[in-house]
């Protein structure tokens, strides 16, 4: 598995396994076990996913050494006022004494206070790297300019229909690694049958889904595809025996709408929604 080197020297697999919307304990535990058995060595969860305990149970049952697994969780906004305690609670649920990466899940509420808590945990050695999620360039630049530890990661909606090309340029300028959530856009815009991706895939005997993932990793975007089907997990890992041509990359770039398929974090309605959630 190829890796990326974060801004503090920590190596992270360029592809991991996500467990968003896998809230059933047994289903999530089995999915993580299947993912590890398939070859994944990075697992991405979050406090808001309500499955940290299931992930922890899978890690305990697996025969993979803890040091060989890159484990990520995210702090939910309702915990920003006491992020340090919430991260320590996450570690208990996950059954670990350190985390490889912890992100702030949303750029709302008192994220400066929460980030300083992450900085403290990082300096104490309880977290190997810290970062953010869903921070658009304006908020990322503001945070970078006013904190001691530059975020190692910014995890944002990134897929062939919303490619984050400009945002990635700013992340690279400030030495922040881009990571994709929703690399399949949850199948929206008929991604799995898209004619451009399908035709490119025929040249390499790959599916539209594999081409969509390869496009991101070839742009040095970390990906965390999700599936509860082991065969698809394995297919999602089968990306590293081919390279897309310059023409392929150009044709896929043309699919970019530069708009979210889920929500605009800069809209007042989104801000109001998250601020309400921060109080729950």
Give SS3 for 3. Answer: strand
Q: Is 49 a catalytic residue?
A: yes
Task: State the Cα–Cα distance between residues 219 and 73, nearest whole angstrom.
Answer: 24
The token pair at 41 is 């060595």
**Rg of the Cα atoms in the chain:** 18
Task: State the Cα–Cα distance between residues 54 and 142, nearest whole angstrom.
Answer: 36
Q: What is the DSSP letter of 80?
A: G
The token pair at 65 is 């050494």
Contact yes or no for 119/148 (Cβ under 8 A): yes
φ/ψ of 55, rounded to 5, equals -60, -45
Contact yes or no for 92/63 (Cβ under 8 A): no
Task: Give the active site residue among 40, 49, 80, 122.
Answer: 49
Kindly give, in sequence order, each residue whose CB lies less than 8 Å from that of residue 70, ignoring residues fewer than 6 positions away.
12, 13, 16, 41, 42, 43, 100, 101
The token pair at 96 is 């670990």
Q: Is residue 120 exposed (0-12), middle (13-18) or buried (19+ Cβ within 10 Å)?
A: middle
φ/ψ of 163, rounded to 5, equals -85, -10
Contact yes or no for 181/133 (Cβ under 8 A): yes
Active site positions, annotated: 49
């Amino acid at each position: 598995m190829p890796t990326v080197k974060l801004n503090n020297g920590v190596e992270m697999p360029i592809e991991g396994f996500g467990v968003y919307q896998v809230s059933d304990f047994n289903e999530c535990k089995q999915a993580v076990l299947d993912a590890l058995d398939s070859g994944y060595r990075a697992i991405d969860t979050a406090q808001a996913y309500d499955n940290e305990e299931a992930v922890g149970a899978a890690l305990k049952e697996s025969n993979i050494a803890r040091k060989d697994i890159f484990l990520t969780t995210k702090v939910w906004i309702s915990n920003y006022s006491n992020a340090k305690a919430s991260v320590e609670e996450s570690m208990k649920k996950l059954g670990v004494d350190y985390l490889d990466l912890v992100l702030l899940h949303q750029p709302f509420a008192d994220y400066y206070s929460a980030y300083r808590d992450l900085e403290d945990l990082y300096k104490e050695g309880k977290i190997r790297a810290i970062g953010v999620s869903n921070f658009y360039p304006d908020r990322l630049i503001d945070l970078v300019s006013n904190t001691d530890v530059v975020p190692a990661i910014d995890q944002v909606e990134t897929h062939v229909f919303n490619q984050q090309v400009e945002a990635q340029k700013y992340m690279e300028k400030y030495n922040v690694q881009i990571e994709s959530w929703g690399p399949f856009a949850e199948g929206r815009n008929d991604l799995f049958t898209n004619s451009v991706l399908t035709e490119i895939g025929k040249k390499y005997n790959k599916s539209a889904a594999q081409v969509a993932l390869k496009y991101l990793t070839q742009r040095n975007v970390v990906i965390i595809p999700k599936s509860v089907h082991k065969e698809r997990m394995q297919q999602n890992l089968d990306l590293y025996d081919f390279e897309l041509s310059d023409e392929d990359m150009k044709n896929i770039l043309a699919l970019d709408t530069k708009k979210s398929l889920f929500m605009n974090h800069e809209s007042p309605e989104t801000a109001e929604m998250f601020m309400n959630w921060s109080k729950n």
